Structure 1
Amino acid sequence: MSHLAQSGTAAQQADLRPALTLLTGFAPEAVNAAADLLTRADPALLVVGYDLAALAGEGTVRRTVRDGTGVIEDERTALEHGCLSCTVREDLLPALVRLARTRPGGDIALVLPPNMEPETVATACSWTHVDGAPVTDAVRIDSVVAVCDPASLLDTLDSDQDLADRGLHAADDDARSVADTAARQIEYADTVLLWALGTGPGSGFDTYEHTRLAVLLQRLNPWARHLVVDLDEPAWLSARLRRSGRFDPDAPEPYGRGLEGYAVGSHEPEPDCGVVAAVYRARRPFHPARFHQALPAIAGKTLRGRGHLWLASQPDAIVAWESSGGGVAMGDLGRWLAATPDEEWEHSSPERRVTADLHWDADYGDRETQLAFVGLHFAADELTALLDACLLTDAEAAEGERRWREYDDPFDGCFDGKEGIQQ
């Protein structure tokens, strides 16, 4: 028995690749403060930071590398295309591989700028090659940590601005919103850190408000580990953020979790510190015209919504849903298995096929709407009634799919690509 235990331990320790911790968030001061605590706990930790302020205009990025002793590198690089994906592919990933090779005994923390989403980096690491080898041969993503500042969190999640309005767009065609970007950073993280230094007595920050924000973050990302930093303790923080092994590269996207059998969110319709979370599910499709008309009301009731749905007029398409800051983004998630030839089912994940089999409906197959909403002081039953009113009536459902496809459809042609429609 002892021999087996030792062998298992050795196998776990065999992975000598540097562990990469992604620090993300829309409050740069808080994110950098977290990185500072980590370097105080381990001066050998390499911290890579990016300034993309000049990317959209000049096509240049500034990259810094530091450890506990100070700045090691400070370089500005010109990128031919001046876009975010180019930054990741042409500068960031080669830099990470180089640092991993030259400092094989040390780990790396990557401080992402507010306009860079961790999913972009993680996805690129999974398929990009540097010097003929996968990036993941040199470094492994260990955890993705979203750092949230209580002073700006609510304003950010409720903002109706685009990144361009704040001069944070990463390219001329970067149309992302502030609220969407911040929400995705939180939802993609495996660890959510609520920064609380300076929120004690005399700070002017209400303890109840801090508790409310902690509940809000738990509702936004119920599958993450949640931490609150209220003490200046580098060792405590480092032990909980580094080498946690919490990152799962195969985890589904937040709005597609329901297709894989995972919960799309938590259902907590009774307010907790004013925070309400509601999950809406329906087997019938939405009527395209009524649903389109209700979009402003649906999005305006909550801070955040995500999930997938189906429209009667487009019964083959799985539609992704994201709402934040009063806006809506809808896109293409592919085809329902009920609309997919049997021989092509093998291209879907085993989790998706099992989920479809378990919940198969005689009339609709695996078609189902699953939407999760989070907000402050909204009535979950009123939101449910609003969504129910968009579903096909009994008479409309009886007309059948051939008639549904003839409905006037404001969404016609919107879901040929992932971007879909934004309002």
Structure 2
Amino acid sequence: MSQLAQPGAAPPQADLRAALTLLTGFAPEATRAAADLLARADPALLVVEYDLAGLAADGTVRRTVRDGRGPVEDERTALEHGCLSCTVREDLLPALVRLARTRPGDDIALVLPPNMEPGTVAAACAWAEVDGAPVADALRIDSVVAVCDPASLLDTLDSDQDLADRGLHAADDDARSVADTAARQIEYADTVLLWAPGADPDFEHARLAVLLQRLNPWARHLVVDLDEPGWLSQRLRRSGRFDPDAPEPHGRGLEGHAVGSHEPEPDCGVVAAVYRARRPFHPARFHRALSDVAGRTLRGRGHLWLASQPDAIVAWESGGGGVAMGELGRWLAATPDAEWEDAGPERRVYADLHWDADFGDREIHLAFVGLHFAADELAAVLDGCLLTDEEAAAGPRAWREYDDPFDGCFDGKEGN
């Protein structure tokens, strides 16, 4: 039933800010081709691209702007610190705001280079200011689109190289891996494109489509097999799919959201598995199992807890056979009541609903995606890392005394 407007009520105001589409991916040719299709459908669309190859060499970046009629700008900027975050803060944001102000009514498509992650840009757009005014006053992120090339997708996700090995590192201390960076681009997106214009559907494309759906089950998925500007533009432009309040992929489980899908039976060879436990990992046994766990799958993500460091929420990320772990903060069970408000309502509600009398909100919640791996065998490896009944009965005081290969890695160890 439609609702009638109340007498005297102001009509809803149209959002006149420029809509920003972020195009991300580890295949620059495919990402650029997607931008070309959008520009062909709307000649007024401003396409912004960055070449960061000069960052490592001489601390410069090249920024180009074009629309459907041709080049608009081509500038090279020297960044004093030669780093990726400086590029976003000192050049990208002012350029986007300026374009939004000087070309009112025209939207923007930003083609990100492979080593720039969309989450970095989105965070900067949310909090940064340009000329004393919030960036969000001039533009809004409409959608984050991951463009994936079937010819290189599997090799990229299974790569054991760092960005530096391919000359893609954004600064001297950029130690990110190829596999992790590519996976994060896909996981952060609200729309995922399998880019295959002109290709005949076959098993390989079907397998990659399933793989992408398992990597990011909360996104909209499209297979682009037509070189048709209107088709793509209608599905991407002004979609409003980006949610600035959506949880990060690593922290989804803390707020009660799915970390991944559980599809242990292969679909075109693709397997997805979710592992959960309310008992901690023994640090030494878990450390010994790291390479085994990471080597079985293409991608893993989520959070966990270690018996020896019961206050720290530990983030898990695996890809290309490697592992990255970091701290996501403290468990609510290890947080003073007065600080619970900082956690956010969704996390507090989820913790209340799943509170354990002994361990509070502590849990292990991991998701894995790969090809032809046995989900039950992976679960058995992880089960072997959990505390035994006898170890669990000894209690947290004894756990803190365990030999811990992760000692000093997470700030949450020192707590109550």
Normalized against structure 2, the TM-score is what? 0.97
- Separation in 1, partners of 2:6, 2:162: 53
Matches within 5 A, 1:61-100: 61-100=61-100
- What's the offset of the Cα at 1:8? 10
Q: Does 1:4 align with 2:39?
A: no
Q: Could you say what secondary structure the match of 1:62 adopts?
A: strand
- What's the offset of the Cα at 1:5? 10
In structure 2, the residue matched to 1:405 is 400
Q: Does 1:309 align with 2:304?
A: yes
- Separation in 2, partners of 1:8, 1:151: 55
- What's the offset of the Cα at 1:56? 1.2
In structure 1, the residue matched to 2:276 is 281
Q: Deviations over 1:45-97 (max 9, x none)?
A: 00000000011110000000000001110000000000000000000000000
- Separation in 1, partners of 2:106, 2:9: 23
Q: Is the 8 A contact 2:48 2:108 kept in 1?
A: yes
- Separation in 2, partners of 1:154, 1:261: 30
Structure 1 unpaired stretches of 5+? 201-205, 418-423
- What's the offset of the Cα at 1:416? 3.3
Q: Does 1:220 align with 2:220?
A: no
Q: Is the 8 A contact 2:312 2:411 kept in 1?
A: no
Matches within 5 A, 1:178-197: 178-197=178-197
- Superposition RMSD on alpha carbons, in Å? 1.5
The alpha-carbon distance between structure 1 residues 151 and 290, as it changes in their structure 2 partners (threshold 3 A), is: same
Q: Could you say what secondary structure the match of 1:295 adopts?
A: helix
Q: Is the 8 A contact 2:198 2:226 kept in 1?
A: no
Counterpart AA for 1:199: A
In structure 1, the residue matched to 2:314 is 319
Q: Could you say what secondary structure the match of 2:316 adopts?
A: strand
- What's the offset of the Cα at 1:4? 2.9
- Separation in 1, partners of 2:9, 2:329: 41
The alpha-carbon distance between structure 1 residues 299 and 9, as it changes in their structure 2 partners (threshold 3 A), is: farther
Q: Could you say what secondary structure the match of 1:302 adopts?
A: coil
- Separation in 2, partners of 1:53, 1:2: 55
In structure 1, the residue matched to 2:38 is 38
Q: Deviations over 1:202-229 (max 9, x none)?
A: xxxx710000000000000000000011
Q: Could you say what secondary structure the match of 1:54 adopts?
A: helix
- What's the offset of the Cα at 1:232? 1.3
- Separation in 2, partners of 1:170, 1:10: 47
Q: Displaced runs of 4+ in structure 1, greater than 2 A?
A: 1-10
Q: Could you say what secondary structure the match of 1:144 adopts?
A: strand
In structure 2, the residue matched to 1:421 is none
- What's the offset of the Cα at 1:198? 3.4
Counterpart AA for 1:258: G
Structure 2 unpaired stretches of 5+? none
Normalized against structure 1, the TM-score is what? 0.95
In structure 2, the residue matched to 1:267 is 262
Counterpart AA for 1:397: A
- Separation in 2, partners of 1:332, 1:412: 13
Which residue of 361, 368, 375 corresponds with 1:366? 361
- Separation in 1, partners of 2:337, 2:301: 29
Which residue of 318, 321, 328 corresponds with 2:323? 328
- What's the offset of the Cα at 1:7? 10
Counterpart AA for 1:270: E
Q: Could you say what secondary structure the match of 1:317 adopts?
A: strand
- Separation in 2, partners of 1:260, 1:306: 15
Q: Could you say what secondary structure the match of 2:53 adopts?
A: coil
The alpha-carbon distance between structure 1 residues 100 and 258, as it changes in their structure 2 partners (threshold 3 A), is: same
Q: Deviations over 1:225-277 (max 9, x none)?
A: 00011011111100111111110111111011000110000000000000000
In structure 2, the residue matched to 1:57 is 57
- What's the offset of the Cα at 1:161? 0.2
Q: Could you say what secondary structure the match of 1:398 adopts?
A: helix
Q: Deviations over 1:360-380 (max 9, x none)?
A: 001110000000000000000
- Separation in 1, partners of 2:226, 2:134: 39
Counterpart AA for 1:35: A
- What's the offset of the Cα at 1:14? 1.8
- Separation in 1, partners of 2:4, 2:340: 44
In structure 2, the residue matched to 1:203 is none
Identity %: 85
The alpha-carbon distance between structure 1 residues 150 and 7, as it changes in their structure 2 partners (threshold 3 A), is: farther
